[in-house]
Amino acid sequence: MLRYRNWTLEPDVEPDSEPTKFAMRCAVCRKKSPVSVEFEALSRWVFHHVGRNPSHHSYQEIIVRPWRAWMGPMAR
C-alpha cells in the first residue's frame, strides 16, 4: 500500500538555525558588499560606494534566509 505525504517549506526560525544574512549590490556596476547580519554595515557600504560613484543611485538587496522542508502527516 502506498501513502502520500505532504511536504511543507517554511523559513527556519528554530533557535539553532543559521542567521539571515544580507548583502547589497550596485545595480549600475554590479559590485557587491560583503555579507552581513547587520543592515547598518550594508548602508555604510552603499554610502561609501555612492560617494565614490555619484551616478550609482540604484541598489539591490540580497537576502540569504535559512529555510527548512519537513514532511507532514500521512495524507488520506
Name the band, by pLDDT with cuts 50, 70 and 90, for residue 5: confident
Q: What is the pLDDT of residue 40?
A: 93
Q: Whole-angstrom Cα distance, residue 49 to residue 32?
A: 10
**E strand or H helix at 11:** strand 5-11
Q: Is the pLDDT of residue 2 over 80?
A: no
Average pLDDT in the 34-51 region?
96
CA angle 28, 33, 39 (to 5 degrees): 115
Dihedral sign, Cα of residue 21, residue 47, residue 53, residue 58: positive
* Contacts (Cβ under 8 Å, ≥6 apart) of 69: 7, 8, 9
